[in-house]
Amino acid sequence: METLATARRRPHLVLAAAVLALAYSAITGVTQPQPAAAAAKFTQPISNVVWEAGKTYSIVWTDGTPGTQSLRLMKGQATALQQVAQIATVDGASGTYEWTVPADLPTDNTYAIALGTPPDVGYTGQFTITGHETGALPSVGERPPAPAPAPVPATP
């Protein structure tokens, strides 16, 4: 058996034994480990897909947390996405939502969709929405110009 005098000559062994004892007590002191909540994983839309404004698409995910969750349209740099709109409030476990892309969204290739509550938020990869271009759509109530009348044949 090791004496205190011998242990003083091998301080690294004493430190290692203390660390192991602390780790063992920390591990065995936990009776039921709690799994970390998982963020949803999206299968639609996929990265780099192009969706047209005004059309309906399926947003599809797995591993969503059951209960009320916010499904949000995001835009911007992948590391600094900003919310553009709330798409819907869904049951996170439902796994799908049919979404009609608003017709007035501008074309951009930095859109993403988010589902969940921080810190457990899942994101799609970035994708493109082709939509409203400045000056491309007439104002509400504006009519296109009427065609010119046909020329009247001259009578001899």
**Burial category of 119 from C-beta neighbours within 10 Å (exposed 0-12, middle 13-18, buried 19 and up):** exposed
In a domain, 124, yes or no: yes
Contact 132, 108 (CB under 8 A): no
Say what the pTM is: 0.62
Task: Quote the distance between the C-alpha of residue 131 and its chain's center.
Answer: 20
10 and 58 inside one domain: no
Instruction: Classify residue 3: in a domain, yes or no.
Output: yes
Q: Tell me, what's the pLDDT at 16? A: 53
> 101 and 45: one domain?
yes
Residue 142 lies in a domain: no
Q: How many structural domains comprise the chain?
A: 2
Q: Please report the pLDDT score of residue 141 as a whole number.
A: 46
Q: In this structure, how many other beta carbons lie within 10 angstroms of the beta carbon of residue 58?
A: 11
Looking at the structure, tell me whether residues 126 and 94 fall in a common domain: yes
Quote the Cα angle for 7-11-12, to 5°. Answer: 125
Domain assignment of residue 12, yes or no:
yes
Same domain, 21 and 89: no
Question: Are 97 and 46 part of one and the same domain?
Answer: yes
Please indicate, yes or no, if residue 109 is contained in any of the structural domains.
yes
Domain residues for 18? 1-29
pLDDT tens per residue, the chain (156 residues)?
555 555 455 555 555 555 445 444 444 443 333 344 578 999 999 999 999 999 999 999 999 989 999 999 999 999 999 999 999 999 999 999 999 999 999 999 999 999 998 888 999 999 999 986 644 444 444 445 555 555 666 666
Task: Determine the pLDDT at residue 117.
Answer: 86
Query: What would the two tokens of residue 108 be?
Result: 């951009």
Residue 35, in any domain of the structure: no
